Amino acid sequence: MRKFFVTNLLIVLLLNLLVKPFWIFGIDRSVQNTVGSEEYGFYFALFNFTLILNILLDLGITNFNNRNIAQHHQLLNKHLSNVLSLKLLLFVFYTVVVFSIALIIGYRGRQLYLLIFLVINQFFLSLILYLRSNLSALHLFKTDSFVSVLDRLIMIVFCAVLIWRNPFSEKFTIEQFVYAQTLAYMIASAIALWIVLHKAGKIHLHIDWQFFIVFLKQSYPYAILILLMSFYNRIDGVMLERMLENGKEQAGIYAQSFRILDAATMVAYLFGGILLPMFSRMIKEKQDVYPLVQLSYKLIILPVILFLVVAWIYGSQIMDTLYHHNDDYSTNVFRILILGLFATSTTYIYGTLLTANGNLKELNRMALITMIINIGMNLILIPRFQALGSAISAVTAQLFAAFYQIILSNKIFNFRTNYKFIAQLLLYVFFSAGIGLCCHYYISNWIVSILLIGISGLFVVVVTGILNVKMIMKFFDKD
């Protein structure tokens, strides 16, 4: 099982590292540089608004389905027929709720027009994620990896044409960006559906209210968890845009840093996608999950720490390279917000384990407290510090959630506290930071410095014994 995890993780990482960084920094970043921070902030706030409520399209179906199909493959055909019908009904419900709330909080005119397409985009995105949950539950990770990057590949083509060789107008607009997303999601969802149908066989869409009620009763704890997590992860941009007179501009500044955090979190997200069905099956078969938890956490947190050192030391250079409109304030927002990477990476390991074990009540309690912390701090800090206040609020909430999940996992699974690993980790942080500062002061070329920090970090990993070649080979040799 561990060999299977490492092998498929490498494949998933390769595909996603080839496509998604180019989308984020080649296309999405170019969109913001082209239309400006204020215009992109307008889109960013609306996008986050629809994303927060995205769970109404799913109600926990995807996560529950991943765990359930991983344990009972024979249910694929039955569930697929019913869930697809259910998702169409949920789309109608989601649309009504989104536009009702939008009118209540003051969205008008152009905002409502753009919401039409963003709502459609969220439906197709939700459909793709549900279809992918069936593939990963069947342990078809290679196929799932292809589907996971398919929409981005299509959007890269569409947006590249619109940005650099726009055949429709001289000026690229944020509306054209959204239209390209809509078309790409439609094509990707059609291909994903065709692949899943090939595995499931013929299906017959029909409305089975009894199935819907039973299924939603089982999945609603997942829905509550995702809704609460969406609030504390995505509410910042919406609150900035609504609370401040220059809200669109501040949301755009926040989006600059959030884009980098989102890209860096991609690796942890891929870990979680692979680990959920694997943890679910191992727990069902009463296998020891601690070795897999330990390996996955080490593989993800060590490069994260190195990345955070680089981000703090060379934050100004990174922001100047990526964005046309940047200043010291934007850099400070980035340096604070990027610290959330440590928390989100931790959550994708321990939160996934707790989800696989069915500890939804405990996770929902954690998410509710985290949401209250984030929203409460935003209400206090945004008026005074604007985007920087949102960054502080987000990181504080995320760190609380991460340590809560570590403590909860240790308690439920009786994991022993690994003091040796904690000491090694602190030593790794100390040496990495020291090496980073030395490179910063004595090497003028910051690109060369980053390369040296990376090489030195790898050396420190080997010397401290946190992760060694023998351990990696051991996991490759074992199933």
For position 243, what pLDDT does the model report? 92
Mean per-residue pLDDT for 251-273? 86
Q: Examine the pLDDT at 50 and tell me if it is beyond 90.
A: yes
Residue type, 41: G
Query: Band of the pLDDT at 469, cuts 50, 70, 90?
Result: low
Q: What is the pLDDT of residues 4-45, one digit of tens each?
A: 555 666 666 677 677 777 888 888 888 888 888 889 999 999
For position 67, what pLDDT does the model report? 67
Mean per-residue pLDDT for 366-384? 94
Query: Band of the pLDDT at 63, cuts 50, 70, 90?
Result: low
Q: What is the pLDDT of residues 139-187, one digit of tens each?
A: 676 787 788 888 888 999 888 888 877 666 668 889 999 999 999 999 9
Query: Band of the pLDDT at 332, cuts 50, 70, 90?
Result: very high
Q: Examine the pLDDT at 244 and tell me if it is beyond 70.
A: yes
Two tokens, residue 277: 């069905």
For position 447, what pLDDT does the model report? 87
Q: What is the pLDDT of residues 267-308, one digit of tens each?
A: 788 778 778 878 888 888 888 888 888 888 888 999 999 999
For position 261, what pLDDT does the model report? 92
State what percent of residues in the chain have pLDDT above 70.
Answer: 88
Among 79-88, 360-369, 375-384, 449-458, name the one with the lowest average pLDDT: 79-88
Q: Examine the pLDDT at 476 and tell me if it is beyond 60.
A: no
For position 280, what pLDDT does the model report? 82
For position 84, what pLDDT does the model report? 83
119 or 218: which carries more pLDDT confidence?
Answer: 119
Residue type, 308: L
Two tokens, residue 376: 């409460």
For position 12, what pLDDT does the model report? 67
For position 68, what pLDDT does the model report? 64
For position 379, what pLDDT does the model report? 96
Give the span between the Cα atoms of 254 and 267, in whole angstroms.
21
Looking at every residue in the chain, the average pLDDT score rounds to 85
For position 274, what pLDDT does the model report? 75
Q: Are 323 and 29 in contact (CB under 8 A)?
A: yes
For position 446, what pLDDT does the model report? 87
Give the span between the Cα atoms of 357 and 351, in whole angstroms.
10
Among 23-37, 102-116, 215-229, 249-263, name the one with the lowest average pLDDT: 215-229
Among 87-91, 194-198, 463-467, name the one with the lowest average pLDDT: 463-467
Among 68-77, 191-200, 411-420, name the one with the lowest average pLDDT: 68-77
pTM reported for the whole predicted model: 0.78
Query: Band of the pLDDT at 420, cuts 50, 70, 90?
Result: confident
Q: Examine the pLDDT at 472 and tell me if it is beyond 70.
A: no
Q: CA-based Rg of the chain, rounded to a whole angstrom? A: 22
